Amino acid sequence: MTGFIVLLGQAMQVPLIRLTPTNPLLGMASIVFISLALSDLIPLLAENWSYFENLVPIRLSGYFCLAAYIYFVPTSIVSNSLVITYVLFEIWGNFLIYNNLRDEKYYRMKKFVEENSEAIRTAHDEQVRVVELDEQ
C-alpha cells in the first residue's frame, strides 16, 4: 500500500509525506476515521436511505473540491500523498455508493408501484377532468 501512496503522490505531483509508527497524529486520525464510520452505521442500520441519498452527493462534491485544491495549490498543508490517496479512495467509494443507491431507489420504486398498482389506478381515475362543451 505504501508503494501505491508514493505512486499516486508522484502522479499528482504532491509532496510525499513520511510518518513514523509512533507519531501521535496517527492515533488521532484513526479516532476521527472510526467516528466517521460509526456516524454512518446508525442510519444504515435504521435503513434511512434518504440520509445517504442526500449525503453522498454532498460528500462527492466536497471530495472533488478537496482533490482539485490539492492539485492546484501544491504548497498547502493538505497537499501531500497521504491526503490525496485518501481523498481519491473516498471519491471512488462514494461514487460506488451513489450508483448503488440509484439502483436501489429504482427497485424500491418498482416494488412500490407493483404493490400499490390498484390504488394508483384508482387515484388516476378520480382526477378531475375539464370537458369543454360546444355552445350552440
| Cell, residue 125 | 381515475
pLDDT at 66: 95
**pLDDT tens digits for range 79-110:** 988 899 999 999 999 999 999 999 999 999 99
Average pLDDT, the chain: 87
What number of H helices and E strands is found in the chain? 5, 0
Q: Are 17 and 81 in contact (CB under 8 A)?
A: yes
pLDDT at 20: 80
pLDDT at 119: 86
Which pLDDT band holds residue 136 (cuts at 50, 70, 90)? low
134 DSSP 8-state letter: P
| Cell, residue 113 | 408501484
Which pLDDT band holds residue 128 (cuts at 50, 70, 90)? low
Distances (CA, A) of 29 to 2, 25, 102: 17, 6, 31
37 DSSP 8-state letter: H
pLDDT at 23: 82
Q: What global pTM score does this model have? A: 0.76
> 19-28, 67-76, 112-121: which range is least confident on average?
19-28
Evaluate if residue 54 carries a pLDDT over 70. Answer: yes
Q: Are 101 and 49 in contact (CB under 8 A)?
A: yes
